[in-house]
A and B are shown apart, each in its own frame.
Chain A
């Protein structure tokens, strides 16, 4: 280092990168070996009909992609993923935002409420799924029992057994798990909003809703971008909850793309097809992420 510093300028410039690159190297090795390498391999597999056992890869061009685009099961799984993400964002992000707005108005106890609302997020999503599978249980579940206690027993359902109710029911469990997480981000962002804006709004006679609509929401624009990006990516982790609660059923009713990929790869053994589905999913997620963040940059200027 010291010797390099006294060398000619060109050599010094090159040597100056040695330390930073050494600092970077451990993370890059992990990331390269266990993330980037399999990612490239996924793309390669998506052009083959590999079944997991064949000793060599047989390239089939775009056949897997063509098959997916014509496959109702895959298209329905995509559609369910859109519904799933929308439900997740409405419950977890919407819930987190509203609750954050509520508790900023609290005079005291804010930190306690924040910590309690965050508690479900400390659990594994799979554990959350097991808990909610019992809450939704038709015979022993608290939800049906609660409805009966309120003399609404007619509304009792086999929540996870009904094709139309299963996906929203799983989404409720994921919303419970995650809303505190988004709430914490929104709260942190709300604290950066200039209090004078609230005072000005109060002088203008604005009520709680107007303050929220015209001061809080615009002030949260960049946090909202971060949260929507995070939520879109996190909604794919819905796999854990689905797997623990319904396994993708009844029949295909909760088969989101993440579950489709798992079933087709590891239960049917069509690894090439599943890899193609994973590539399509990745492209969709990247497109959404870039879309959200372009919006952020332009508005921030």
Chain B
């Protein structure tokens, strides 16, 4: 058995390297393109730039309004993260550790939302937000993103709280702590890894949201990054270098957040889904 698996090893290694390389190549290709001149992009599309030029980034930054899109995305993503954690954490706890866990149908109302395609709500949602004066508003977009992510967030927090021992709750209750105190002082500190995972999911989910932003943001002043990039693509049909630079600008924040937090991201995904 040992020898057999040793013999397989080189082929396995080659396959893994090829697939990983193919996964990463589009990133590299876009970055190379961002540093090329228009002639190079047409003449040698596969290779490294002959000379690393920064003028594409200057063009993208000034004509593409990326600084503005970036600020909008950041505001929406931070607001969503704070609200989502504040809203989903108590609910997840209620389903995991209070007597609500004996009433499965309430949880099914949330589970239903997990399977609901967003197309089922977008048409009335636009007019509803319009009547609240929340179209073209980062606040309006944030509130809607929080609401559509509630089912998943509550589901995730419920599974984290469920893993905490019931004995802790019982002990605190015997010591005379009331339900709020048990939640705030005893359970919440123990659920920190879950909170962190939820925060990362919420941030990236809001940062990457497209359809709801397309629905609710129609003027350039409120556009978020993915929306701004898609518009930039339709404007830069003659200047590919600037478009590549715009893509890189849109990619950088997501990649940085992911690289910094990938451990808790992957841990959260593994814990939330296998249960």
Pair from one complex = yes
Q: Are B119 and A27 in contact (CB under 8 A)?
A: no
Q: Does A155 touch B at the CB level, under 8 Å?
A: no
How many whole Å from B217's CB to the nearest CB in chain A? 13
Cα(A102)–Cα(B5), bound, Å: 12
Residue picked from B13, B20, B204, most chain A C-beta under 10 Å: B20
Note all chain A residues with C-beta closer than 8 A to B25. 142
Q: Are A124 and B226 in contact (CB under 8 A)?
A: yes
Note all chain A residues with C-beta closer than 8 A to B178. 1-2
Note all chain A residues with C-beta closer than 8 A to B154. 27
How many whole Å from B5's CB to the nearest CB in chain A? 7
Note all chain A residues with C-beta closer than 8 A to B123. 38, 42, 45, 261, 265, 271, 274-275, 278
Closest to A103 in B: B16
Q: Are A35 and B150 in contact (CB under 8 A)?
A: yes
Q: Does B120 touch A at the CB level, under 8 Å?
A: yes
Cα(A108)–Cα(B253), bound, Å: 29
Q: Does B82 touch A at the CB level, under 8 Å?
A: no
Partner of B225, one of A2, A39, A124: A124
Q: Are A140 and B91 in contact (CB under 8 A)?
A: no
The answer to whether A229 and B150 touch (CB under 8 A), given A19-B179, A118-B262, is no
Q: Does A116 touch B at the CB level, under 8 Å?
A: yes
Note all chain A residues with C-beta closer than 8 A to B204. 122
Note all chain B residues with C-beta closer than 8 A to A278. 117, 119-120, 122-123
> 0/1 per residue, A186-200, Cβ < 8 Å to B?
011100100000000
Q: Does A252 touch B at the CB level, under 8 Å?
A: no
In chain A between 171 and 210, which residues have their CB closer than 8 angstroms to a CB of chain B?
176, 180-181, 184-185, 187-189, 192, 202-203, 207-208
Interface of B is mostly: helix
How many whole Å from B177's CB to the nearest CB in chain A? 10
Q: Does A68 touch B at the CB level, under 8 Å?
A: no
Note all chain B residues with C-beta closer than 8 A to A59. none
Q: Does B62 touch A at the CB level, under 8 Å?
A: no
Partner of B33, one of A134, A223, A237, A240: A134
> 0/1 per residue, B134-158, Cβ < 8 Å to A?
0000000001101110110110000
Q: Does A61 touch B at the CB level, under 8 Å?
A: no
Q: Does A296 touch B at the CB level, under 8 Å?
A: no
The answer to whether A130 and B46 touch (CB under 8 A), given A23-B183, A27-B91, A202-B1, is no
Q: Are B183 and A38 in contact (CB under 8 A)?
A: no
How many whole Å from A226's CB to the nearest CB in chain B? 6
Q: Which 6 A-B pairs have the closest CB atoms?
A: A34-B147, A188-B270, A122-B258, A124-B208, A41-B124, A23-B90
Note all chain B residues with C-beta closer than 8 A to A244. 210, 230, 233
Note all chain B residues with C-beta closer than 8 A to A23. 90-91, 93-94, 98, 183
In chain A between 228 and 264, which residues have their CB closer than 8 angstroms to a CB of chain B?
229-230, 233, 236-237, 239-240, 243-244, 257-258, 261-262
Residue picked from A103, A142, A145, A189, most chain B C-beta under 10 Å: A142
Note all chain B residues with C-beta closer than 8 A to A239. 119, 210-211
Q: Does B30 touch A at the CB level, under 8 Å?
A: yes
Q: Are A52 and B266 in contact (CB under 8 A)?
A: no
Q: Does B104 touch A at the CB level, under 8 Å?
A: no
Q: Are B208 and A27 in contact (CB under 8 A)?
A: no
How many whole Å from B38's CB to the nearest CB in chain A? 9
